[in-house]
Amino acid sequence: MKAETRKQKEIRKPKSEIRMAASRFDGPPGLSGRGEMAFRSGEERFGLRISDFGFSATVASFLLLVAAVATAATAFPAASALPAQTNLPNPLVMFDGRPVTNRAQWFAERRPELQALFQHYEYGTLPPKPERVEAKVVAAYSDFLGGKATLKLVEIKTGPANAPKIDLMVVVPNARTNPAPVFLTMNFCGNHAVTADPRVPLARGWVYTSCKGCPNGVATDAGRGSQATNWPVHLWPLDDIVQRGYAFASFYSGDIDSDRANVSDGLYAWLAGSDVARNDPTNRGSIAAWAWGFHRCVDYLVKDPDVNPRQIAALGHSRNGKATLLAAAFDERIAIAFPHQAGCGGTAPARGTVGESVKRINTSFPHWFNGAFKEFNDVPERLPFDHNAMVALCAPRPVLFSCATGDQWSNPAGQFEVLAAAEPVYRFLGAPGLGVKEMPPVGQLVGERLGYFIREGKHAMTADDWKVFMDFADRQFKSAAK
């Protein structure tokens, strides 16, 4: 570790250059100095113009925040200039080699620095919250699930008419005396696939042709309820969730980004405006866009009187699990993260030698990440972080990794290693960590604030998985209530 620290010092940058700035614009027209430069940078990068919306402090603030994140990371060196680190880098060591010595330094310096590093070298920039997010409950039905729950259909507008619009379905138990804890999930095939209830609208945009009832990439009634019971990969057992006292919220990934390598028609297309040259489909960073979608749904949930705003758990499977962990790492309103079988680019180490590699995932799904991440295809050991640092960004909040013995592509053993390497940050912050040194037997949930579970089977989300999710949530929420 000492040798690695000396190498890091060779590429040391001033803290003012590498810290992720949070510039804000508070006033009307009349930008000057760095504020004007940042504003122009935002216009140039995303193709947005004041004339698109009419000038306002809201628009200026939005562009300045985007520009601040986009430009702060420019001081980081190229991948070829970074030192190789065989082991998972220590999250408690600053990029310039200084140790993190106290809690205040972690939150004021190291945590923002890690967020900047992940955006620069892997995911791309997460756009900030728009100044105007409008959520409207367009319908509510108290007879859902045979009267056991109320179904709300919520429309979330994230900006002007051409900005992404999210259809969020929210299911709340009727038999409750207090606001309910909620699982916020992102689904693969549209809300209509989660339940057969015909009142849930079909997904509006492109849908995977692998989804039932979508042979031409367009949702049809034939797909209704296809993931509600026995779909082979993803299961949403709404009756069980409600019976356990949890609310459930879900949105379709295609509302934000349609997950096609050569087509970018969602969030980034909107940010680029009418200039298609500014919207690079291949390196656009779909995972970051989906994480942004999670955040916009949280904007609504914290204001829903039927939901406990302190008990929002984010959950996703596979690629959606990658977005889940990123969303939690960048939003402390998310109380627990459940990245299920998220693998490379999510819960597995980038330096792992089992399962999917950085090169393979970038080749198969180049649009999930930014262009800089491709520079590590053959040298993942040069990444100045690994995904133990992503878990550390969630500290001291709970995180559960769940895996399957037949899903070696997502590297279950490596995922345990990631959790173990994040534990020192939890201990440093005075919180319980993983609490075990070895992988547990199959079928046994272990852990404290950090949890790990592995079952028999393959890459899928099952009813047994959901039981474990809710058991872990029960434990964490009850512990927090003490």
Positions annotated as catalytic residues are 318, 459
Taking the C-alpha atoms of residue 385 and residue 124, their distance in angstroms, rounded to an integer, is 15
Please provide the DSSP assignment of 15-76 as one string: HHHHS-------SSS---HHHHHHHHHHHHHH---HHHH---HHHHHHHHHHHHHHHHGGGS
CA atoms of 46 and 239, how far apart (whole Å):
43
Task: Find, among 325, 289, 314, the residue nearest to 422 by Cα.
Answer: 325
How far, rounded to the nearest angstrom, does the alpha carbon of residue 418 sit from its chain's CA centroid?
Answer: 17
> Residue 339: how many CA atoms within 13 Å on its side-chain side?
34
Pair of tokens at residue 250: 């879900």
Strand segments, DSSP code E, in 292-398 are 307-317, 336-340
Q: What is the C-alpha separation between 172 and 149, in angstroms, rounded? A: 5
Q: Which two tokens stand for residue 273?
A: 């405006």
In degrees, to the nearest 5, what angle opens at C-alpha 131 toward C-alphas 202 and 292?
Answer: 50
Cα four-point dihedral sign 408, 413, 415, 418: negative
Q: Do 217 and 283 touch, CB atoms closer than 8 A?
A: no
- Centroid of chain to Cα 277: 26
94-98 contacts, C-beta under 8 A, 24 or more apart: 95/8, 95/13, 95/18, 95/384, 96/8, 96/9, 96/12, 96/13, 96/15, 96/18, 97/5, 97/6, 97/8, 97/9, 97/12
Helices (H), 79-180: 103-105, 111-118, 144-147
**Pairwise CA distance, residues 156 & 179, whole Å:** 21
Residues in contact with 390: Cβ distance below 8 Å, sequence separation at least 6, in sequence order: 118, 325, 326, 329, 346
Rg from Cα positions in the chain = 22
Name residues whose C-beta falls within 8 Å of residue 104's C-beta, 6 or more positions apart in sequence: none
